[in-house]
Structure 1
Amino acid sequence: MIRTPLRPLARILRARERGENPDDIEAENRRRRHEEIQARAHRRAEGRLLLMAGLFAMAFATVGVRMGALASSQPTEPRAEVLSAQIMSQRADITDRRGRVVATNLLTHSVYAHPHQMVDPLGAARGLARIFPDLDEERLTRDFTGERKFMWIKRKISPEQMQAVHDLGEPGLLFGPREMRVYPNGDLAAHILGGSGFGNEGVNSAEVIGIAGVEKAFDAWLRDPANEGAPLALSIDLTTQQAMEDVLYSGMRLMNAKGATGILMEVKTGEILAMASLPDFDPNDRPRPLLKGDPSDSPLFNRAVQGQYELGSTFKIFPVAQALDLGLINPSSGINAQAPMRIGRFLINDFHNYGRELSATDVIVKSSNVATVRIAQMIGVERQKDFLEKLGLFVPTTIEMVEAPTGQPLVPQRWPAVTSATVSFGHGLAASPLHLAAAYATIANNGRRVTPTLVHGRQRPEGEQVLSPRAAAMSVDMLRQVVTRGTARGADVPGYEVAGKTGTADKPRASGGYYKNKVIATFASVFPASDPEYVLIVALDEPSTQTAGGGESRTAGTTAVPVAAEVIRRIAPLLGLEPKTDENLPSIAPRFEPRVEPGEPGEIKLVANQ
């Protein structure tokens, strides 16, 4: 803008020539300048007022339109959105074979603290220690009065605990929504499920991840959105699992055992209907693992899958079945049972003196070590190893559990004659009870290899034909005679044609050698023998029971067998098996009769009939 001078020289000179006052010219120019300034200010003010009026009009119009839209729309529940990085927290349910939920998700809250926002840190510490007894009040006080800006208090709390914390009225205590994994059946099937924990987590959400069992093995599948929340259907049956655990727990207590395990498997499919390991735990409150000592002392230890045991005489059916298959013997073949038997500098004896000769059937029925070794010698080392390998006894099982690879059988590096002999009657090779279940299922399945699984209804390729159907059928018949007239007569549950083999193996010392008074007692069974449908394994760790004469017995026939018999009595009706005889079952007194006695709430004890 060009400013007009207040005293223009030309006009001043002319004014002086005419005798006029030059100051009047200056005054006139100053007046005009002020008028122009005022005019410009007036125009600017009018423009601003018009702009503000337009903005207010637009704002009121927007509010009016929005109010009209809300008034005409249907009401809906508001949804909260987390603006922070998304954390995938949805996890599919796990069910049993009948669709009953064994693991699901529950909406809960976490509680955390901003100590710098607290009004009364000492009162907050005192209140939290009262609500959560496992928290240390002194430590909370130090944390709340220190330099920390954030700290977790509890990563998951119940609604009652949330209300109690809220009632403290402390603005520095805050809540965050999240999902948690819940196991509604408590410790039922705990080792199968394993448990879960939190992975990536923030104050408003947390990622639930599997940390053991099928939760870990199927972690990616359970969190995959592509599955659209479809549940994972396990092969177990909750009712059968509960019955097995109840009987197994009572039997363990009655037999004074350190631990116990049981496996029930379908012969045709390999699907596991029940699998228990005791002692167990509650996956809702999974204990910490042991950092030293014997792993089997921890309730987290899965004896069925991770346990590596010499399974004793339950192995004797393997060389006999192989010899039948190879045509080396038949059920009535005479086998030299003269004891003791010397192999190098080692002597092999029998529990009893069985005379000079036993039929091949009686080798199994009477459980002769010496005669079993004679049969293994007929087979030869290489063929024996090849057969055991085909049964899956040299590698970990492929069961869908993260613990499966840790169940690597302990197989001898060298296989001299004495090793071949001891392995034939279940010593020198350590495998898990699940290995034993799969091997017995293979024999019961007309000799076709069975692979155990925990997934229901999954199509899998047919297994290898390990044994001829004829040899397999003869082997099952021998196992049936063990129950009807041999070492497992206590397992002859009327109507269910139980066939099986006992095994009592001394426990090895960590320092070498064997304990004299500690054993693993096992009963491996198949039922019904005429058309095998199920395999049941029951094993007790360090059992001991009083005999009728006041002595002490640790053999499988007096410990594992009666427990297995009670398991069959309880679960056979649950499986829909009808007794195959017309006997009056109630008139036959069972060896064990479950009844509730004073003690722990809900505890079921197996009480021996005298």
Structure 2
Amino acid sequence: MSPRVPLRPLARILEARAKGENPDLIERENKHRRHEDMRDRARLRAESRLVVLAGLFALAFGAVGVKMGTIASSDPSEPRAHAAGAAIAAARADITDRNGRILATNLVTHSLYAQPPQMVDPARAAAELARIFPDLDEERLLGWFTGTRKFLWIKKRISPEQKQAVFDIGEPGLLFGPREMRLYPNGTLAAHVLGGARFGQEGVNAAEVIGVAGIEKAFDDRLRDPARAGEPLQLTIDLTVQAAVERVLAGGMTMMNAKGAAAVLMDARTGEVVSLVSLPDFDPNDRPSPLVEGNPSDSPLFNRAVQGLYELGSTFKIFAVAQALDLGLVSPETMIDTRGPLRWGKYSINDFHDYGARLSVTDVIVESSNIGTARIAMQLGAVRQRAFLEALGLTTPTGLELVEAPGAKPLVPANWSELSTMTISYGHGLSASPLHLAAAYATIVNGGTRVMPTLVRDGPIQRGPRVISPETSAIARDMLRQVVTRGTASFGEVPGYEVGGKTGTADKPKERGGGYYEDKVIATFASVFPADDPRYVLVLTLDEPVMTSGREPRRTAGWTAVPVAAEVIRRVAPLLGLKPQIEPLTPTGVTLTSN
């Protein structure tokens, strides 16, 4: 125990005792003085603290006032929530048709994820989730929730109704994250043009949307550019026309028992693709998985109009005739030897019918003579024929703004011999897509200038180089018109609209072993309208069609592709703003006079 410290000064105590005074008074006086000193020091400390606290309050209120003034003087804007970590660019521009109607846009939705350590009743959560989402397995969910995982995705996209149902479970370990998903409000319409999109980089509070095919992938950088998020990508597609073409083509495909179908409707002057259809199709909102085996063309993802490379048969005949006319080798009235068969080595070329010993060049097209076209091609030669087809774009990819287009390079013979020259003249030995054919026909009938197909409206379109003369183009248009009025495409006539075109029926090559099927064809009708001054080209192709409504099966284009194309033209011509031509009334000999 430490010694007691005296409170009284010893000298004064001794002096007080000597004088007979009470020493306790001295002790009380000393204690009182010390208490006063302690109160003074405590008051000074309290006053200092109050001064500091007042200063801090003044600074805080000043900062709040400055911030309020800054906000009041700035432009109003919607507050945004920011997640930790690197920002994910979720914005994506809309895609519209030529008239500004929405083809692809964004929809705000939510994702569902779980944090198992925060779960109260994992078994109940697993059971309720399996009830809300029938595709989820309850046992697997329970294994995840009771395991060692701290985070897991359950659903990348859920509907508002599903979100409410999950919220009603009341499980704190089930959480939602905001999402901006890609929406195609028209479903399957223009599916092969748009392609589709999926989530790329993902976070809890955002996910980027990236294109996987079609326009979405070809223009992915442009659509994801934050600086252009409010600027829609406008296509040349017409939504109404596209819907009409798809509906008619689907009906024709069913009626003709075809395996697949494709159609390309193009502006003959500019190359703008107004409609592009491939059947069967798919819904880009729920894009199917690609095939892992078998023929890619069996997948609904396969774009027959762009990726499909086919021998397009007699539709090629107009190219050989147009080139010969332009070179001055023949005239429309020049007579061509059509006696058959035409032999070259061990091979022979025959016509579908016996057309007699001679046909005029015009009738070679109208009657679709293989022999006559082959003899004209022999006058051209392989070198000139190949150069002409190259000028028409039939030997290289089209350059269309789809990610699939660069891979669709026409199949040309390794050795372009004289036999190849003859067979290619009537559409065998060179495989191209319906889109290639549409662009080539547009070049032939629009006055002879090269057309480059396009799907994007991006400023004025430059006129292409000249391929044939305007005079040759006019003759070719007249020949194509006669094919409809008195030739193999008689079912292609549409009252009020002069239709011209050329049929093509090509045997389908076997996938293995070489050779051709005897009962499978690619039927094509390449049409133009109005024929006197073509505004549009329509190429329609049916894969393995067979019309069974008659006495015997018919597979040729005149019986299958032509009537379907005629119905397409009848439906879309008014939608394109083309007024029907009214035939003048026959004079009656009665004159109307006024009194």
Calculate the TM-score normalised by the size of structure 2.
0.89
Q: CA deviation at 1:224?
A: 1.7
Residue 371 (structure 2) aligns with: 370
Residue 517 (structure 1) aligns with: 519
Q: CA deviation at 1:225?
A: 2.8
CA distance in 2, matches of 1:438, 1:360: 24
Residue 82 (structure 1) aligns with: 82
CA 1:31–1:325 in 2, change beyond 3 Å: closer, same or farther? farther
Q: Which amino acid aligns with 1:82?
A: H
Residue 486 (structure 2) aligns with: 485
Q: CA deviation at 1:179?
A: 0.9
Q: CA deviation at 1:38?
A: 7.8
**Is 1:253 equivalent to 2:262 in the alignment?**
no
CA distance in 2, matches of 1:469, 1:204: 61
**Is 1:53 equivalent to 2:50 in the alignment?**
yes
Residue 426 (structure 1) aligns with: 427
User: Does the aligned pair in 2 maintain the 1:263–1:537 contact within 8 Å?
Assistant: yes
Q: CA deviation at 1:253?
A: 0.6
SS at match of 2:577: coil
CA 1:147–1:479 in 2, change beyond 3 Å: closer, same or farther? same
CA 1:31–1:239 in 2, change beyond 3 Å: closer, same or farther? same
Q: Which amino acid aligns with 1:233?
A: Q
**Is 1:349 equivalent to 2:350 in the alignment?**
yes
Residue 93 (structure 1) aligns with: 94
> What are structure 1's unaligned runs of at least 5 residues?
1-5, 15-19, 21-29, 585-610
SS at match of 1:545: coil
CA 1:41–1:144 in 2, change beyond 3 Å: closer, same or farther? farther
Residue 559 (structure 1) aligns with: 560
SS at match of 2:175: strand
CA deviations 1:79-138 (Å, max 9, x no partner) are: 242142211111111111111111111111111111111111121111112112222222
Q: Which amino acid aligns with 1:520?
A: I
CA 1:359–1:144 in 2, change beyond 3 Å: closer, same or farther? same
Residue 593 (structure 1) aligns with: none
CA deviations 1:47-102 (Å, max 9, x no partner) are: 5433443455456665799699989989x897242142211111111111111111
User: Does the aligned pair in 2 maintain the 1:494–1:583 contact within 8 Å?
Assistant: no
Q: Which amino acid aligns with 2:127?
A: R
Residue 183 (structure 2) aligns with: 182
Q: Which amino acid aligns with 2:81?
A: E
SS at match of 1:399: coil
CA distance in 1, matches of 2:35, 2:424: 115
Matches within 5 A, 1:456-535: 456=457, 458-511=459-512, 512-535=514-537
CA deviations 1:326-374 (Å, max 9, x no partner) are: 0001111101101101011111111111111111011111111111100
CA distance in 2, matches of 1:419, 1:56: 98
Q: CA deviation at 1:206?
A: 1.0
CA distance in 2, matches of 1:564, 1:530: 18
**Is 1:274 equivalent to 2:310 in the alignment?**
no
Residue 232 (structure 2) aligns with: 231
The percent identity for this pair of structures is: 61
CA distance in 1, matches of 2:30, 2:200: 76
User: Does the aligned pair in 1 maintain the 2:262–2:540 contact within 8 Å?
Assistant: yes
Q: Which amino acid aligns with 1:49?
A: A
CA 1:144–1:321 in 2, change beyond 3 Å: closer, same or farther? same
CA distance in 1, matches of 2:35, 2:198: 76
Q: CA deviation at 1:319?
A: 0.4
Q: Which amino acid aligns with 1:279?
A: P
CA 1:349–1:169 in 2, change beyond 3 Å: closer, same or farther? same
User: Does the aligned pair in 1 maintain the 2:261–2:543 contact within 8 Å?
Assistant: yes
CA 1:583–1:87 in 2, change beyond 3 Å: closer, same or farther? farther
Q: CA deviation at 1:37?
A: 9.5
User: Does the aligned pair in 1 maintain the 2:83–2:205 contact within 8 Å?
Assistant: no
Calculate the TM-score normalised by the size of structure 1.
0.87
CA distance in 2, matches of 1:397, 1:39: 102
CA 1:460–1:36 in 2, change beyond 3 Å: closer, same or farther? farther
Q: CA deviation at 1:46?
A: 3.9
Q: Which amino acid aligns with 2:46?
A: L
SS at match of 2:106: strand
> What are structure 2's unaligned runs of at least 5 residues?
12-16, 18-26, 586-595
CA deviations 1:538-589 (Å, max 9, x no partner) are: 10111111253x21011111110010000001001111111123389xxxxx
CA distance in 2, matches of 1:435, 1:543: 21
User: Does the aligned pair in 2 maintain the 1:495–1:583 contact within 8 Å?
Assistant: no
CA 1:468–1:36 in 2, change beyond 3 Å: closer, same or farther? farther
Instruction: Work out which of the residue numbers 529, 536, 539 in structure 1 matches 2:538.
Output: 536
CA 1:77–1:396 in 2, change beyond 3 Å: closer, same or farther? closer
CA distance in 2, matches of 1:557, 1:278: 20
Q: CA deviation at 1:181?
A: 0.9
CA distance in 2, matches of 1:48, 1:176: 52
CA distance in 2, matches of 1:227, 1:448: 34
CA distance in 2, matches of 1:571, 1:483: 19
Residue 169 (structure 1) aligns with: 170
CA distance in 2, matches of 1:583, 1:126: 76
